[in-house]
A and B are shown apart, each in its own frame.
Chain A
Amino acid sequence: NAGVTQTPKFRILKIGQSMTLQCTQDMNHNYMYWYRQDPGMGLKLIYYSVGAGITDKGEVPNGYNVSRSTTEDFPLRLELAAPSQTSVYFCASSRRQGPYEQYFGPGTRLTVT
Chain B
Amino acid sequence: ELKVEQNPLFLSMQEGKNYTIYCNYSTTSDRLYWYRQDPGKSLESLFVLLSNGAVKQEGRLMASLDTKARLSTLHITAAVHDLSATYFCAVAGMNRDDKIIFGKGTRLHILP
Residue A66 lies at the interface, judged by CB distance under 8 Å to chain B: no
Set of chain B residues within 8 Å of A96, measured between Cβ atoms: 96
* Interface residue SS majority, chain B: strand
> Nearest A residue to B44 by beta-carbon distance?
A104
Contact digits for B44-63, partner A, Cβ 8 Å, 1 yes 0 no = 11001010000000000000
Asked if B99 contacts A104 (CB within 8 A), the reply is: no
Asked if B50 contacts A104 (CB within 8 A), the reply is: no
B interface, size bucket: 20 to 34
Set of chain B residues within 8 Å of A102, measured between Cβ atoms: 33, 43, 45, 90, 100
Asked if A50 contacts B97 (CB within 8 A), the reply is: yes
Residue A99 lies at the interface, judged by CB distance under 8 Å to chain B: yes
Asked if A42 contacts B100 (CB within 8 A), the reply is: no
Residue B80 lies at the interface, judged by CB distance under 8 Å to chain A: no
* Interface residue SS majority, chain A: loop
Asked if B31 contacts A45 (CB within 8 A), the reply is: no
Q: How many residues of A contact B (CB 8 A)?
A: 27
Asked if A98 contacts B42 (CB within 8 A), the reply is: no
Contact digits for B72-104, partner A, Cβ 8 Å, 1 yes 0 no = 000000000000000010101000111111111
Q: A42-B88, A42-B105, A43-B88 are in contact. Are A97 and B100 (CB under 8 A)?
A: yes
Q: Which residues of B contact A (CB under 8 A)?
A: 31, 33, 35, 41-45, 48, 50, 88, 90, 92, 96-105, 107
Q: Which residues of A contact B (CB under 8 A)?
A: 33, 35, 40-45, 48, 50, 56, 58-59, 90, 92, 96-107
